[in-house]
Amino acid sequence: MSRTNPPPHRRRRAALMTAGVLVAAGVGTGGLLQGTASAAAFGCDVTYSANDWGSGFTANVTITNTGDAAANGWALTYSYAGNQQLQQGWSAVWSQSGKTVTVEDAGWNANLAPGASTSAGANFSYSGTNSAPTAFAVNGVTCGEEDPGDPDPGDPDPGDPDPGDPGTPGDRVDNPYEDAGVYVNPEWSENAAAEPGGDAIADEPTAVWLDRRAAIEGVNGGMGLRDHLDAAVEQAQDYDDFVFQVVVYNLPGRDCAALASNGELAPDDIDTYKSEFIDPIAEILADPAYADLRIVTVIEIDSLPNLVTNVSPRATATPQCDVMKANGNYQEGISYALNELGDIPNVYNYIDAGHYGWIGWDDNLLASAQLFHDTATMNGATVDDVHGFIVNTANYGPSVEPYYSINDSVNGTSVRQSSWIDWNRYVDNQSFAQGFRQQLVSLGFNSDIGMLIDTSRNGWGGPDRPTGPAAKTSLDAFVDGSRLDQRLQAGNWCNQAGAGLGERPTASPATGIDAYTWIKPPGESDGASEVIPNDEGKGFDEMCDPTYTGNPRNNYNMSGALGDAPLSGHWFSAQFQELLANAYPPVN
């Protein structure tokens, strides 16, 4: 599989707003900015709402340009009266200094034409009283006072694009993982239990991968889809509700930016994909014998993100991804799968959305959200066929970086300018998933979509794990000393040395996140470290060779891969043991 870190069009939106605004934001309590260049012809109206759960709340702000000149870059400030403390924001860059909150455009939404609106949100914690702020300013202009009785009905509300939305069909619940057991794959469990110490995690749920047509019936005498579903029905007897997780992974021309998981279907084999892969899967999943399972499908890892970042004219383009973009077969296959599987009332489709170190840059984020929406609304598929998205599948990026955030700076320079972050908008997968979720909703996906994070191998425990923020001696020293992620580069994806198991599967770990889940079964290789002839269609990708010095997609860094690795999907005992040893939280 290919997971790439393509920052070719880094947006160096230099200090236009950042410096002036962030400095000014600390001044005064009225939230008025002074001396901002674009202040003159800009008028604004701000709608504020809060969804409060007692110890915290989600704040939503919508800014409307009521002036007669476009704003090219904007920053909103306002203040709280209490101890409200910013946790995490999305669709804008949120920061807080004392009681003053600054919300700066995220680049892709910098332009605000006269009459246009834009929305952003953030989570806050608090204790005591949570009064709404009363004064707002954008780019130094005090905004028209908001009358809570009149939320400006004339304004379009981009946060709720389809108020008449009937919701998802069938009996689907909002979060299938909530209060549910999850299927333990007996084949993986047996491999794990056979390793020294592996017993401790052998009863964790992992996904079943359908990575070729033959996997539907079972490969080499192994379990097929029905065998797994039957076993799931057995396991489900111990629970009121039960989730079965299956990865649908066999597109024509699969894995176009890498070779390790090239598939069996050629770029033009779209008809075979539909009739010999998706149709039989749909037929089995629709069997009434499985109607009580909540079937979570993970749809086609890496494919749509590859069409965003690894196509011409980018330096990261591959000829294979150019072919798949031109022939449209990734989009056609995915829309077909969403539509067919989405017709089954107990199926929950989650589309793969890459990871923060791939899609987190402004240009990639918006383009990906648009491509996802286009794909989910073609060939009969609709947004109701999409229950959510998954990030970090089979990747190594931490869920949360606890010791630094995107809002940190060193001597006034944002961590975004560090070598590691390299102008990305996010430093970890959870903030990325939450921000991306908002972006997807604003483009027309249902407002109740949920995100999954594959935490199977993103733990980064062990002796090299930092225990707190590093000293701010320099920007890079601070980021490199604070980050959990010990990779050489965030675009590295194959059998990463030093990695550990991440959080054990958990339902509803954070706002907007349906679950932490183990989709990539720990101990199964990402790809061979040297050429191994095989009949699985697997190629050899140099990103799995520890001596490889890199390509444009990892910015010419060493691969960071473990040596002596078997083919992708095959058991890799040494990796399993390292993951166990470096688990975080640690395994007892």
- Per CB under 6 A, the segment of 376-384, 462-470, 521-529, 575-583 that binds ligand BGC is 521-529
- Per CB under 6 A, the segment of 155-163, 354-362, 412-420, 516-524 that binds ligand BGC is 516-524
User: Does 205 participate in binding ligand BGC (rule CB under 6 A)?
Assistant: no
Closer residue to ligand BGC (CB): 294 or 520: 520
Sign of CA dihedral 548, 554, 556, 560: negative
Two tokens, residue 66: 């009521």
User: Does 541 participate in binding ligand BGC (rule CB under 6 A)?
Assistant: no
How many chain residues bind ligand BGC (CB under 6 A)? Answer: 10
Closer residue to ligand BGC (CB): 269 or 526: 526
Q: Which of 269, 363, 503, 526 binds ligand BGC (CB under 6 A)?
A: 526
* Least distance between ligand BGC and beta carbon 210 (Å): 8
* Least distance between ligand BGC and beta carbon 260 (Å): 7
103 near 74, Cβ under 8 Å?
Answer: no
- Per CB under 6 A, the segment of 98-106, 320-328, 373-381, 517-525 that binds ligand BGC is 517-525
Closest CA to 430 of 182, 87, 12: 87
φ/ψ of residue 208, rounded to 5: -95, 130
To the nearest 10 degrees (0 to 180), the angle between helices 329-342 and 362-376 is: 60
* Least distance between ligand BGC and beta carbon 221 (Å): 16
User: Does 524 participate in binding ligand BGC (rule CB under 6 A)?
Assistant: yes
H or E stretch including 373?
helix 362-376
SS3 annotation, 298-325: EECCCHHHHHHHCCCCCCCCCHHHHHHH
**CB-CB neighbours of 577 under 10 Å:** 15
User: Does 568 participate in binding ligand BGC (rule CB under 6 A)?
Assistant: yes
To the nearest 10 degrees (0 to 180), the angle between helices 319-327 and 329-342 is: 60
Closer residue to ligand BGC (CB): 105 or 211: 211
Only one residue has tokens 């589309």, namely: 351
Closer residue to ligand BGC (CB): 103 or 208: 208
Closer residue to ligand BGC (CB): 401 or 536: 536
Full DSSP string of 337-357? HHHHHHTSTTEEEEEE---HH
With a CB cutoff of 8 Å and minimum separation 6, the contacts of 75 are 17, 21, 25, 33, 36, 102, 103, 104, 105, 138, 139
How many angstroms separate the CA atoms of 287 and 560, rounded? 44
135 near 46, Cβ under 8 Å?
Answer: no
Closer residue to ligand BGC (CB): 428 or 526: 526
* Least distance between ligand BGC and beta carbon 4 (Å): 15
Enumerate residues 236-265 that contact ligand BGC by CB under 6 A.
Answer: 261
**Long-range CB contacts for residues 534-538, cutoff 8 Å, separation at least 24:** 534/567, 536/212, 536/264, 536/567, 536/569, 537/212, 537/262, 537/263, 537/264, 538/259, 538/260, 538/261, 538/262, 538/567, 538/568, 538/569
User: Does 1 participate in binding ligand BGC (rule CB under 6 A)?
Assistant: yes
User: Does 521 participate in binding ligand BGC (rule CB under 6 A)?
Assistant: yes
Closer residue to ligand BGC (CB): 340 or 524: 524
Two tokens, residue 408: 């940190």
Closer residue to ligand BGC (CB): 437 or 520: 520
User: Does 569 participate in binding ligand BGC (rule CB under 6 A)?
Assistant: yes
The residue sitting closest to ligand BGC, measured at its beta carbon, is: 569
If DSSP codes are grouped into helix, strand and coil, which group holds residue 50?
strand
Closer residue to ligand BGC (CB): 211 or 401: 211
* Least distance between ligand BGC and beta carbon 521 (Å): 5
* Least distance between ligand BGC and beta carbon 209 (Å): 4
User: Does 204 participate in binding ligand BGC (rule CB under 6 A)?
Assistant: no
- Per CB under 6 A, the segment of 95-103, 231-239, 306-314, 518-526 that binds ligand BGC is 518-526
* Least distance between ligand BGC and beta carbon 494 (Å): 9
Enumerate residues 274-303 that contact ligand BGC by CB under 6 A.
Answer: none
Neighbour-count burial of 411, counting CB atoms closer than 10 A to its CB (0-12 exposed, 13-18 middle, 19+ buried): exposed
Closest CA to 428 of 483, 468, 365, 486: 483
User: Does 454 participate in binding ligand BGC (rule CB under 6 A)?
Assistant: no
* Least distance between ligand BGC and beta carbon 299 (Å): 15
Question: Which residues form the catalytic set?
Answer: 302, 526
H or E stretch including 439?
helix 429-442
If DSSP codes are grouped into helix, strand and coil, which group holds residue 443?
coil
* Least distance between ligand BGC and beta carbon 82 (Å): 48
Only one residue has tokens 């069009």, namely: 9
**Interface residues with ligand BGC (CB under 6 A)?**
1, 209, 211, 261, 520-521, 524, 526, 568-569
